[in-house]
Amino acid sequence: MTDPLSELISLLRPRAVFSKGISGAGRWGVRYSAFEQPSFCAVLEGSCRLLVNGERPLTLQAGDFVLLPATPGFTMSGFERVAPQLIDPKVTPAPQGEVRHGTRGGRPDVRLLGGYFVFHSPDQSLLVSLLPRLVHVRGVERLSTLVRLVAEESAEDRAGRELVLTRLVEVMMVEALRAVPNENTPPGLLRGLADVRLAPALRQMHAHFARAWTVVQLAKHAALSRSTFFERFTRTLGMAPMEYLLTWRMAIAKDLLRREDLSLAEVAERVGYGSASNFSTAFGRYVGQPPSHYARQYAANRPRI
């Protein structure tokens, strides 16, 4: 059975970069400008406030997990009013050891493990658009355990470190995304997969994305009329069925073009186009450049060993 969520995370290619302990006590607050890379944190004990740009305020407590797939600006603080310290994560050096906010020394009011990683996909913005801007999960112990393992592994320079961190971050993303309550899921892939009618059609689209699908055919897999399926899919996914299919085909095409062992005709066939010329036209309209130029550009920027 095709798993669209696993495919999405595989295409994003997450790689762990940095993790740290964070604590706060007394009157404290920090305001981070937009980072735009994925970040996460798990609350180990205590509580604090979190306000992410464009989202409702949250009170975080022990056992909570937060994932920001494309970290916007946010404020984290204690519960006393304070002017937050401004931090630009793009220019501020990574701290050594635990980060302490507010009163130094003594028992903190909150302890967290947090960090960030990167997506090694050139199509990060396209793929991340299918995910929620903010993932907040409460009471899933497995996530806290995974964050601890990430912190421990990133602190050591042992053989196989990069592979272990990569797998831990992949599992952490899957656990967080599938734990999001259905009623809190914004339009996107997760909400579509949680819809019992749309999920079979989505899995068919991912399993056979090269097929010449019609809305009528997809509606049959959802056991819905054409009009009901189109409206429900568009409302739930945030885009029309054929737009979603095109988005996924182009993400796969880009991934295939970055390989050195496939011709343009082979890529065209794999993503459902009858000829290289038809594929080139569609790719050019969507990406803004011909696939041959895209492949050469990527090859020129590829690190040489």
Extents of the domains making up the chain: 4-180, 189-301
Q: What percent of the chain has pLDDT over 70?
A: 95
Cα–Cα distance for residue pair 7/64, rounded to 1 Å: 26
Contacts of 202 (CB under 8 A, 6+ apart): 4, 189, 192, 193
Rounded distance between C-alpha atoms, residue 176 and residue 73, angstroms: 21
Instruction: Tell me the pLDDT tens digit for each residue of 122-131.
Output: 777 778 888 8
pTM of the predicted protein model: 0.80
144 vs 95, residue with greater confidence: 144
pLDDT score for 180: 77
Asked whether the beta carbons of 117 and 169 are under 8 A apart, the reply is: yes
Instruction: Name the superfamily (CATH) of residues 4-180.
Output: Regulatory protein AraC (2.60.120.280)
Task: Output the pLDDT for position 304.
Answer: 44
**Cα angle, residue 248 at apex, residues 176 and 275 outer, rounded to 5°:** 160
pLDDT exceeds cutoff 50 at 303: no
Give residue 87's region: left, alpha or beta (phi > 0; psi -120 to 50): beta
Domain 189-301 indexed as CATH 1.10.3720.10: no
